[in-house]
């Protein structure tokens, strides 16, 4: 363990004492959100993000150490583990280098080299590698190996060359040198296949030639998708002549006589047939892993921004799921998010029933005092927005509306969870409820949907799904715990993301609530089946109870600190002497600061400090837009290359990364965020036929 702590100290920003504490807490079953929030003195104040990075580094280094021990054991079983070999294994800083060291000792299937060795040709190989014989002398020596399965001199020499080729390809130094050459000087090249679609989405990637070191993650993932669809072929090329010159210069002894050509041919064969293909696969694996990580990080940041979007408080909301032939589905949610009523209207083609649609909407607005509408951004969204804009003009009443991403609404509406929540409602009405609910409380609603269906990020279906799911769980869990959860109104989906609670425990909490009524104290959690002391310790601080018996139950103060909180002078919180009181109460200063901050804002939701969702009462038409004009919009999605902005049209406009700032930026997330409202963005090009709009922020910056 000390060895691992030493490595982690070198590879993270944390001190060794804090690393020891974190490892102990994790071993005891503590969660990252709990450690980050309630054990700051033990971690040096590490944030949940710091701890996630630490966890990743820890797991990586732990796997490396475990693999080192495994390799030592395997080599000891098959050969002699010399001190120098053991030292090389101990000093290996990556799995690649470690596997290079182990490669010659691996059990192999029937390769050309192993077959040659089984025929007794290893001594001939050693003589060839020494290059001390002339060609004629070497051929004479090779005759002595004609026996058994070896029928001729040529066959003996060829077998010796096969062994030597494999030796060369397995040499750790050769592999590392070529790996670095391919990483820093290799070029990834794409060529069209016979299946290539000249009008397809991969046209810009055809005949691509780009350095491995510089290819952006999003482009590599697009390239691999094209390869998977058999539209492009890809290879990594390097300057092979330079490699061969190096072999001649450094691998062939200066004293080598005429047998040097046999030696050179062996090395070339090992390079072309074994080493290059092996490392090309490895480089692709590296690029895929790097691209996956980049895409997953972008996805995680987008998800963070989406889930942390401010809720729309105190409004009765009309959810609108637009459609043409099947009509627009409407659902009404009250101020607390409870479903009230639904209807279907046909304001768009083919029926164009404006009058009856108007009557239905006006009746719902009047009956339930609706003061906001959330319109899904899918099919018929623009036409439906036009209907509501026309209502506002004609009838003299103001029903503000906003466009909401409906990505994943249909997935939710057909899910078992939706069926459980609204068993008597049609699937289509559940979709409208989801659209309204995600405006009212994005976090509580969107956790019910598979994040891959939310229409954010890039290539989320192409990346490592295990890593993606972990990132999604981490992001959602950290956010849910940062915001806090009202246990009496939360769904199973939301409760599951609270630190220490599994899906089963979340369901048990809801079952307990059905039988016993609302929770009035956090301590009641201990009465729930399956919730023991550890689960309670991890979860209690992140749970909120509105109108509780004990006011501390509606704060982020952990129950373990209630006795300290009760000793504080509530009327004098801003001027507390933290250092003195921390010593008096025998608690950490960071813990005391957090308690003070919670008492200053009991029940505070950090989302309340964010800019509110923009509403409108009119609609845009692409035909009325001109290049050089300005519009407002909301950022809906962010990728490595740009951001997609909802400006009120059927298709989102796109701001390329080069049009986001006067300064050079590495990623759009440096200047933009999901659901960010842009009061002004310039239209720089319009493609009427494809319905595409290109946008820019550079003029605004100036």
271 pLDDT tier (thresholds 50, 70, 90):
very high
State what percent of residues in the chain have pLDDT above 70.
Answer: 99
Lowest-confidence segment of 16-30, 250-264, 372-386 by average pLDDT? 250-264
Residues in a beta bridge with 320: 330, 375
pLDDT at 617: 67
Q: Which of 335-344, 599-608, 614-623 has the lowest mean pLDDT?
A: 614-623
Q: Is the pLDDT of residue 701 over 60?
A: no
The answer to whether residue 291 scores a pLDDT higher than 60 is: yes
pLDDT at residue 302, rounded to an integer: 84
Task: Answer whether 0.85 is exceeded by the pTM.
Answer: no
pLDDT at 571 over 70: yes
pLDDT of 298: 86
Is residue 107 very low, low, confident or very high in pLDDT (cuts 50, 70, 90)? confident
Domain boundaries, given as residue ranges, for the chain: 2-75, 112-299, 317-464, 622-701
pLDDT in the model for residue 441: 94
Which string of DSSP letters, residue by residue, matches 209-276? Answer: EEETTT--HHHHHHHHHHHHTTSEEEEEE--HHHHHHHIIIIIS-TT--TTHHHHHHHHHHIIIIIIH
pLDDT digits (tens, 9 = 90+) for 57-86: 999 999 999 999 999 999 999 888 999 999
> Which residues, in sequence order, are bridge partners of residue 645?
635, 653
**pLDDT tens-digit readout, 367-395:** 999 999 999 988 898 889 889 988 988 86
Report, at the CATH architecture level, how domain 112-299 is classified. Orthogonal Bundle (1.10)
Quickly count: other Cβ atoms within 10 Å of residue 221's Cβ: 22
* pLDDT for 12 beyond 70: yes
DSSP 611-675: PPPP-BS----GGG--TT-EEEEEEEEE-SSEEEEE-SSSS-EEEEGGGS-SS--S-GGGT--TT
Q: How far apart, in whole angstroms, are the C-alpha atoms of residue 175 and residue 531? A: 53
Q: By the 8 A CB rule, do 162 and 116 touch?
A: yes
Q: Which residues contact 379 (CB under 8 A, 6 or more apart)?
A: 322, 323, 324
Pairwise CA distance, residues 313 & 261, whole Å: 81
Over the stretch 180-237, which tens digit does the pLDDT of each residue have?
999 999 999 999 999 999 988 899 899 899 999 999 888 999 999 999 999 999 999 9
Give tens-digit pLDDT for 675-696: 787 878 899 999 888 888 999 9
The CATH class that applies to domain 317-464 reads alpha beta
Domains 2-75 and 317-464 share a fold: no
Residue 540: DSSP 8-state: G
Question: What's the half-sphere exposure (Cβ side, CA atoms, 13 Å) at 235?
Answer: 7
622-701 maps to CATH 3.30.160.150 = no
d(CA 73, CA 129): 30
Contacts of 640 (CB under 8 A, 6+ apart): 216, 217, 218, 294, 295, 298, 458, 657, 667, 668
The residue with tokens 């000093």 is 91
Question: Bridge-partner residues for 683, per DSSP?
Answer: 695
pLDDT digits (tens, 9 = 90+) for 28-60: 999 999 999 999 999 999 999 899 999 999 999
113-145 tens-digit pLDDT: 999 999 999 999 999 999 888 889 999 999 999
The 10s digit of each residue's pLDDT in 391-436 is: 988 867 789 998 888 888 999 999 999 999 999 999 999 999 999 9
Section 298-310 average pLDDT: 87
Residue pLDDT, tens place only, 495-549:
999 999 999 999 999 999 999 999 999 999 999 999 999 999 999 999 999 989 9
Q: What is the mean pLDDT of the chain?
A: 91
CATH topology of domain 2-75: Arc Repressor Mutant, subunit A (1.10.10)
CA-CA distance, 614 to 583, in Å (whole number)?
48
Please state, in angstroms and rounded to a whole number, the distance separating the CA atoms of residues 93 and 55.
18
The mean per-residue pLDDT over the stretch 607-616 comes to 78
Q: What is the pLDDT of residue 133?
A: 87
């Amino acid at each position: 363990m000390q060895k691992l702590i030493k490595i982690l100290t070198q590879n993270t920003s944390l001190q060794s004492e804090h690393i020891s504490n974190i490892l102990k807490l994790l071993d005891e079953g503590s969660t990252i959100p709990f450690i980050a929030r309630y054990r700051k003195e033990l971690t040096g104040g590490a944030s949940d993000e710091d701890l996630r990075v630490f966890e990743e580094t820890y797991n990586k280094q732990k796997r490396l150490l475990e693999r080192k021990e495994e390799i030592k054991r395997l080599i000891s079983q098959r050969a002699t583990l010399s001190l120098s070999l053991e030292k090389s294994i101990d000093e290996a800083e990556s799995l690649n280098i470690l596997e290079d060291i182990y490669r010659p000792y691996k059990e192999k299937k029937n390769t050309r080299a192993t077959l040659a060795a089984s025929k007794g040709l290893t001594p001939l190989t050693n003589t060839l590698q020494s290059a001390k014989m002339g060609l004629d002398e070497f051929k004479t020596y090779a005759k002595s190996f004609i026996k058994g399965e070896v029928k001729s001199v040529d066959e003996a020499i060829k077998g010796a060359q096969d062994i030597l080729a494999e030796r060369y390809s397995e040499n750790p130094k050769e592999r590392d040198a070529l790996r670095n050459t391919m990483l820093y000087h290799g070029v990834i090249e794409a060529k069209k296949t016979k299946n290539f679609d000249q009008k397809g989405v991969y046209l810009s990637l055809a005949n691509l030639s780009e350095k491995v070191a510089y290819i952006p993650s999003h482009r590599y993932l697009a390239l691999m998708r094209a390869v998977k669809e058999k539209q492009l072929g890809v290879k990594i090329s390097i300057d092979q002549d330079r490699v061969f010159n190096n072999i001649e210069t450094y691998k062939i002894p200066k004293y080598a006589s005429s047998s040097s050509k046999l030696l050179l041919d062996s090395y070339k064969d090992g390079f072309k047939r074994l080493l290059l293909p092996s490392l090309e696969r490895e480089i692709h694996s590296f690029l895929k892993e790097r691209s996956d990580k980049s895409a997953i990080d972008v996805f995680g940041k987008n998800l963070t921004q989406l889930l942390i979007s401010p809720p729309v408080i105190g409004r009765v909301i009309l959810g609108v799921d637009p459609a043409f032939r099947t009509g627009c589905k409407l659902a009404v949610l009250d101020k607390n998010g409870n479903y009230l009523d639904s209807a279907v209207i046909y304001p768009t083609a083919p029926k164009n029933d404006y009058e009856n649609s108007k009557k239905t909407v006006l009746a719902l607005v009047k009956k339930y005092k609706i003061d906001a509408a959330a319109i899904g951004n899918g099919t018929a969204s623009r036409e439906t927005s036009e209907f509501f804009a026309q209502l506002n003009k004609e009838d003299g009443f103001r029903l503000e509306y906003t466009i909401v991403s409906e990505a994943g609404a249909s997935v939710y509406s057909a899910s078992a969870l939706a069926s459980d929540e609204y068993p008597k409602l049609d699937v289509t009405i559940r979709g409208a409820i989801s659209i309204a609910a995600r405006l009212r409380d994005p976090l509580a609603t969107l956790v019910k949907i598979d994040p891959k269906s939310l229409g954010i990020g890039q290539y989320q279906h192409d990346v490592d799904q295990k890593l993606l799911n972990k990132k999604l769980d981490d992001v959602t869990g950290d956010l849910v715990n940062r915001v806090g959860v009202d246990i009496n109104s939360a769904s199973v989906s939301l409760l599951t993301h609270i630190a220490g609670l599994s899906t089963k425990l979340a369901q048990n909490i809801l079952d307990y609530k059905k039988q016993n009524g609302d929770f009035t104290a956090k301590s009641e959690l201990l009465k729930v089946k399956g919730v023991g002391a550890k689960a309670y310790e991890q979860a209690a601080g992140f749970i909120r109870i509105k109108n509780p018996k004990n006011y501390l139950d509606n704060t982020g103060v952990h129950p373990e600190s209630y006795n300290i909180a009760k000793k504080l002078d509530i009327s004098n919180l801003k001027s507390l002497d933290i250092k003195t009181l921390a010593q008096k109460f025998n608690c950490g200063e960071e813990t005391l600061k957090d308690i003070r901050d919670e008492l200053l804002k009991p029940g505070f939701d950090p989302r309340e400090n964010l800019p509110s969702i923009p509403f409108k009462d009119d609609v845009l038409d692409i035909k009325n837009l001109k290049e050089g004009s300005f519009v407002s919009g909301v950022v809906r999605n962010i990728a490595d290359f740009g951001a997609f902005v909802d400006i009120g049209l059927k298709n989102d406009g796109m701001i390329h990364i080069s049009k986001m700032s006067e300064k050079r930026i590495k990623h759009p997330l440096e200047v933009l965020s999901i659901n960010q409202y842009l009061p002004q963005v310039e239209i720089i090009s319009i493609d009427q036929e494809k319905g595409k709009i290109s946008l820019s922020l550079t003029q605004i910056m100036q």
